[in-house]
């Protein structure tokens, strides 16, 4: 199971061609569709200024399987954030811990451009998808 982080989606929709965005396109074109957490959809969709782009991306997201994140996953994400802080490691947002913990809970790997996830992965069982 694969999750595409908002950083990759945003780069893609901004026309930024990187190995991560190319891999995401390959998955979508080959019907090897990734799954989506609602919080990732929120992060991506909130950034669109016009309705046409918002609706276009929403229709893409509606094709994907959307996995819910239980309150227990939220509690574990908070504990992950706190444990990182205790180790002197600061991530820029608790949302990244929620996404990371969701991946761990579902056994999913994450495709991301966000450096905070590399930090989280070094201190947890989060699996990242590496690109060439």
Tens of pLDDT, residue by residue over 7-17, are 999 999 999 99
Domain that holds residue 44: 2-128
Average pLDDT of span 77-84: 96
pTM of the model: 0.92
Residue 38 confidence (pLDDT): 96
Q: What is the mean pLDDT of the chain?
A: 94
Q: How does residue 22 score in pLDDT terms, banded at 50, 70 and 90?
A: very high
Residue 17 burial class via C-beta count within 10 angstroms: exposed 0-12, middle 13-18, buried 19 and up: exposed
Per-residue pLDDT tens over the stretch 40-65: 999 999 999 999 999 999 999 998 99
Max Cα–Cα distance, the chain, nearest Å: 44
CATH code of 58's domain = 3.40.50.1010
Structural domain count, the chain: 1
- Report the b/e string of 63-78 with b at 16+ CB within 10 A: eeeebebeeebbebbe
């Amino acid at each position: 199971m694969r999750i595409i982080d908002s950083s990759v989606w945003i780069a893609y929709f901004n026309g930024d061609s990187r190995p991560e965005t190319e891999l995401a396109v390959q998955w979508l074109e080959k019907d090897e569709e990734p799954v989506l957490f609602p919080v990732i959809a929120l992060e991506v969709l909130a950034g669109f200024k016009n309705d046409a782009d918002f609706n276009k991306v929403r229709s893409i997201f509606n094709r994907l399987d959307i996995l819910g994140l239980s309150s227990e996953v939220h509690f574990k994400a908070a504990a992950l954030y706190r444990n990182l802080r205790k180790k002197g490691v600061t991530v820029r947002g608790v949302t990244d811990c929620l996404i990371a913990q969701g991946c761990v809970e579902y056994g999913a790997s994450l495709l991301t451009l966000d450096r905070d996830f590399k930090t989280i992965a070094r201190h947890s069982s989060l699996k990242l998808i590496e690109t060439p």
